[in-house]
Structure 1
Amino acid sequence: MICLINPFITSAERYGKEIGDIGGHQMPLGIYYLAAVLLRDGERVEVIDAEAMKLVHEELVKKLKAAPPALIGITSTTVAFRNARSLAELLRRELPGVPIVIGGPHMTAMPEPTMRTGAFDYGIVREGEEAFSRLVRLLIHGEGVPAEIPNLWRAAAGVVTPPAKVEYLADIDTIPFPARQLCGDLSMYRPPVGAFKREPVMSLITSRGCPYQCMFCDNNTFGRKTRFFSAEYVVREIKELVGRYGAREIAFLDDTFVLDKKRLHKIFELLEKEDIKFSWTCMTRANNLDFETLKFMADKGCWQLRVGVESGNQKVLDFIKKGITLEQVRNAAAWCKELKIQTTGFFMIGHHIDTPETIQQTIEFALSLPFTDVTATINTPMPGTESYEKARQYGSYDESDWTSLNYWTPVFVPKGLTREFMLEKQSEFYRRFYMRPGVLLRQLGKIRSPRAAVLAAKNAVLGLSFIKRKK
């Protein structure tokens, strides 16, 4: 048996404050893709999403000791890495001799420091499907040699060995669909309250990589070149989600779902031929949108878009290499309002060249737009990004505790700003946006079930305490 683990992390660790379940839980599709590849290879696989299951380390290890696996794989982001490492160290003590592999964004961003912790035998950077499959054949079946496995780091007797080559998959259509059938309870996964209309709602990724150069974004895992699953592949997976799992809504999680408009049209033309209909949401960029495309999307069931704006100052946008203009954002927001597509704008406070004036401009810009929702996080330079490399040139940066790299804690403070000022402005952002009668009415309109009402109430209480605490 091979065990793939998404380690436990509390909502307080992930979001910088205890928010319970209102932030939702997204299915960690990465390890479900790995599981699908191993199943295709004829292996026995178990996936344990300890975060969604609220399974603390001790309980997880007890479960594994009852039926020890032959190999353990752990995925981790930077904010979760302390937990991933402590879990690996506990597994080493309790299950000596079982190889432990680390993968995910943090390993890709900081491979050598990760391997030098001594907690892991192997590490896989970038995409893991091919490397993990070959590593399993090596460790369990004695096939191949480690030096020939791409993307594979090794650690033994204090010596860390990097891979001979690092590569991306050329044809992602060869990857099987995520092995969702291994999840015993798919109801564990749902977006945050207000981010879905109908249940069951399931998430889907239809491409890998992003061609844009945003300095704050870590694209090392999938690269700066977008590789698309074909329209036919996407439609087959959607048919499985609808037919096998009863999905009534789909959340497309691609960074730029609308990038290839020809493929977008083909996907929904094929779905129309199959008479498959569902409501859906996606992430996109303002510069990828035009009225005709948005109308097509609305006609095909799109009811909500999530758009990265980041700042209301054009010089700041240019500095962070966002590649959009304020005018493009205004147009996209106006078109969405006309088409009755709800829109969430994502903003950040504390860019490298932010000043009190540019932050205020960002707040005023957000208030001028007909967005349904906003998310205003704290700029957090993540390892592996240009933002991280330039952080100390433009301000102070404290990375002593990686659990603070959660986008809500000011670990980076630009010159001329203070931690307290950034938190005050974040609170003002939320308070001024949401404490408007029209916006409050739109929030009430999202409540479509008793469960949604409970979550909305919790969200309101948390929001009020958040505003009051930082006011």
Structure 2
Amino acid sequence: MNAKPPQILLVNPWIHDFAAYDFWAKPLGLLILAALLREHGMGISYIDCLDRFHPEAPLQDPSARHGRGPYHKRRIPKPPGFYDIPRHFSRYGIEPPWLDADLEAVPPPDLILVTSLMTYWYPGVRETIGRLRRRFPGVPVLLGGVYATLCRDHAAAHAGADRVAAGDGPESLFRWIEVLTGFRPQWRFDPGDLDAYPYPAFDLQRTIGYIPLLTSRGCPFACAYCASRYLEPRRRTRRPERVVDEIRFWHDRHGVTEFVFYDDALLIHPERHIVPILEGVIATRRPVRFHTPNAVHIREIDGSLADLMLRAGFETLRLGLETTAFDRRSALDRKVDERQFREAAVCLLRAGFDKDRLGAYLLAGLPGQPISDVERAVLTVKASGITPVIAHYTPIPHTDLWPAAVAASRYDIEADPVYTNNAVFPCMPEGFAWEILTRLKNLVQEG
């Protein structure tokens, strides 16, 4: 058994897609692992293939360091089967020669960890792993993340990694390290205690413009279109004071003012969780702002919570509405009804939120969904004083809606997850149409 702690390289891979944008997107899970490994005495290095601020990249507006912005991109051939889609396909992220130079500069690793996110982004994962293998032949590559968990067999056959860690999480990482390097780490704390973990290793980034926050894991709902319950079967939360301490740390140590909640169920049991968090933030008197790209549950919002969110600094508030066909939504979810939505909208507007800060996600492209349902939903949301935000449906394995998606799709999405790409509306029988996108966009913007 090797007694020497290994050197581990962590890599956030390229994206291959029709479009990609840094919409408060950071590889939080990978940076949690980086901090965990460092805490336990292992050597780490980190490469982000999506680094918008790479030294070789064209200069961006300096203000973009503190929020969203476009990735560098290079046009590449479309996957087979997409030749009829009248859109360009690109590799998003740093150029391959920049990656090669970065790999030359890191210490030779004993193990490489690669993460993954969208299932249909696996071609970018595969290209990244191929590049890593050319630079470090013989070094084992362990693939984890969402794609690895939802499509384990496909990932094992097509991603190019030596092993696939499907949904194992931090708790089993040390077993993989022992298997692949011979080194056996010993836990210094209970891995089931979210409050015991070190803060994610955001210091490994070239710039810390904003901080993603994960105050809880899991979701009590089992929505037909969402894989949260499969990915995180058990709901766990951090202590509110621990979350406040983390916000204070990043603000005081690194000057961060923008914080992004990555929770799937941020507002559940508000009096025990989000209320003490926000009251603690207000008490610190730090000038911070919050964003919720993952959306929050509407049913928990009342006048008191709306006021508290405004005072705490919620700047981008997204609501998980999905549809306004309330009489037929039981097949999708049971997380909000019409009365709860309308009351929440009134509370938020009375608190002082305006439509530029408030958005409600509406799913488009569901199996069997007529486009007229989406259009009616847009009008209903606009009438409530909130901005509609169209979210293109992505078919996801292990969800209740997956069989219907398989039956409705014009692609063989079971055989190849690349065809679940929401940009092509894979479950709409008429297929991708600029006219539909333009019609919805114009409807959202009218008035």
TM over 0.5: yes
The alignment status of 1:97 with 2:138, answered yes or no, reads yes
8 Å CA contact 2:218–2:234 kept in 1: the answer is: yes
Secondary structure of 2:45 counterpart:
strand
Deviation string 1:311-343 (CA, Å, 9 cap, x unpaired) is 121244221124321232222222212212221
Deviation string 1:371-405 (CA, Å, 9 cap, x unpaired) is 1x332132221223222233234454443664453
The 3 A distance-change label for structure 1 pair 317 and 296 is same
Secondary structure of 1:186 counterpart:
coil
Structure 1 counterpart of 2:227, from 215, 218, 238? 218
8 Å CA contact 1:347–1:376 kept in 2: the answer is: yes
The 3 A distance-change label for structure 1 pair 134 and 316 is same
The alignment status of 1:326 with 2:332, answered yes or no, reads no
For 1:284-433, what aligned pairs fall within 5 Å after superposition?
Answer: 284-341=296-353, 342-371=357-386, 373-394=387-408, 396-399=410-413, 402-413=417-428, 417-420=429-432, 424-433=435-444
Aligned counterpart, 2:9: 3
Deviation string 1:99-139 (CA, Å, 9 cap, x unpaired) is 00000001111112211337111221225322223322444
Aligned-pair identity (%): 24
For 1:70-219, what aligned pairs fall within 5 Å after superposition?
Answer: 70-77=110-117, 78-117=119-158, 119-143=160-184, 170-187=192-209, 201-219=210-228
8 Å CA contact 2:260–2:290 kept in 1: the answer is: yes
Structure 1 CA distance for aligned equivalents of residues 165 and 345 of structure 2: 40
Structure 2 alignment gaps of length 5 or more: 1-6, 53-92
Aligned-pair CA distance for 1:425: 3.5
8 Å CA contact 2:265–2:297 kept in 1: the answer is: yes
Letter in 2 for 1:271: V
Structure 2 counterpart of 1:278, from 283, 288, 294? 288
Structure 1 counterpart of 2:108, from 43, 68, 74? 68
Structure 2 CA distance for aligned equivalents of residues 433 and 357 of structure 1: 14
Structure 1 CA distance for aligned equivalents of residues 392 and 215 of structure 2: 28
8 Å CA contact 2:251–2:257 kept in 1: the answer is: yes
8 Å CA contact 2:408–2:427 kept in 1: the answer is: no
Letter in 1 for 2:288: F
Aligned counterpart, 1:461: none
Deviation string 1:73-117 (CA, Å, 9 cap, x unpaired) is 111121321111122233334422100000000111111221133
Deviation string 1:181-239 (CA, Å, 9 cap, x unpaired) is 1112224xxxxxxxxxxxxx432111111111111111256424321111122112111
8 Å CA contact 2:409–2:426 kept in 1: the answer is: no
Aligned counterpart, 1:446: none
Structure 1 CA distance for aligned equivalents of residues 254 and 438 of structure 2: 40
8 Å CA contact 2:152–2:166 kept in 1: the answer is: yes
Secondary structure of 1:203 counterpart:
strand
Aligned counterpart, 2:95: 56
8 Å CA contact 2:12–2:27 kept in 1: the answer is: yes
The 3 A distance-change label for structure 1 pair 270 and 392 is closer
Secondary structure of 2:192 counterpart:
coil
Structure 1 alignment gaps of length 5 or more: 150-167, 188-200, 437-471
The 3 A distance-change label for structure 1 pair 127 and 138 is closer
Aligned counterpart, 2:276: 266
The 3 A distance-change label for structure 1 pair 329 and 408 is farther
Aligned length: 389
Aligned-pair CA distance for 1:424: 3.3
Structure 1 counterpart of 2:445, from 431, 434, 439? 434
8 Å CA contact 2:126–2:159 kept in 1: the answer is: no
Letter in 2 for 1:280: F
Letter in 2 for 1:70: D
Deviation string 1:158-200 (CA, Å, 9 cap, x unpaired) is xxxxxxxxxx96322222110111112224xxxxxxxxxxxxx
Structure 2 CA distance for aligned equivalents of residues 143 and 205 of structure 1: 28
The 3 A distance-change label for structure 1 pair 218 and 267 is same
Secondary structure of 1:4 counterpart:
strand
The 3 A distance-change label for structure 1 pair 313 and 344 is same
The 3 A distance-change label for structure 1 pair 300 and 95 is closer
Aligned counterpart, 1:45: 44
Structure 2 CA distance for aligned equivalents of residues 127 and 65 of structure 1: 30
Aligned-pair CA distance for 1:356: 4.5
Secondary structure of 1:386 counterpart:
coil
The 3 A distance-change label for structure 1 pair 274 and 340 is closer
Secondary structure of 2:173 counterpart:
helix
Structure 1 CA distance for aligned equivalents of residues 340 and 238 of structure 2: 28
Structure 2 CA distance for aligned equivalents of residues 69 and 401 of structure 1: 31
8 Å CA contact 1:7–1:87 kept in 2: the answer is: yes
Aligned-pair CA distance for 1:270: 3.2
Aligned counterpart, 1:193: none
Name which of structure 1's ranges 262-271 and 209-218 shifts more when overlaid on structure 2: 262-271
8 Å CA contact 2:120–2:420 kept in 1: the answer is: yes
Letter in 1 for 2:364: I
Secondary structure of 2:51 counterpart:
helix
Structure 1 CA distance for aligned equivalents of residues 166 and 100 of structure 2: 25
The 3 A distance-change label for structure 1 pair 143 and 225 is closer
The 3 A distance-change label for structure 1 pair 69 and 220 is farther
The 3 A distance-change label for structure 1 pair 127 and 311 is same
Letter in 2 for 1:237: E
Aligned-pair CA distance for 1:58: 4.7
Structure 2 CA distance for aligned equivalents of residues 114 and 126 of structure 1: 13
Secondary structure of 2:424 counterpart:
coil
